[in-house]
Amino acid sequence: MNRGMTPATDSDAARLRQAIADTLARHLPQADLSRFAPEARLNEDLALDSIMLLQLLVHLELEHGLAIPEEAVIGEELRRVDDLVARLGQWQREAAL
């Protein structure tokens, strides 16, 4: 996990991981879900390019009600599933303030 990312609680992390997996299966079937795991690399393991990652974020926001600030996506270092989980958790906590 990248420095500066606040990890979500275990239950939040599990819920976010499941939301990611469900969204990938439903909307991005070309992703390699056989390799889905917390440490799976989004590009190298799951075969997500930058456009697919953006699509994933949009679907997570629309279908799961997750707060994802537009400016936060640009330049993010999201390499692994748990990097995304941590960032999503952080964004949800910031949105609740």
Amino acid 70: pLDDT = 78
- Residues 77, 83: contact at Cβ < 8 Å? yes
- Residues 81, 38: contact at Cβ < 8 Å? yes
Binned at pLDDT 50, 70 and 90, residue 1 comes out as very low
Distance between CA atoms of 67 and 85, rounded to whole angstroms?
Answer: 13
Domain count, the chain: 1
Spatial CB neighbours of 92, under 8 Å, sequence gap ≥ 6: 8, 12, 66, 67
Whether 1 is covered by a domain: the verdict is no
pLDDT at 8 over 70: no
Whether 73 is covered by a domain: the verdict is yes
Alpha-helical segments (H) within 1-97 = 10-27, 50-64, 70-73, 81-96
Range of the domain at 21: 10-96
Q: Domain of 52: which CATH number?
A: 1.10.1200.10
Amino acid 4: pLDDT = 42
pLDDT tens for each residue of 36-94? 999 999 999 999 998 999 999 999 999 999 998 877 666 668 899 999 999 999 999 98
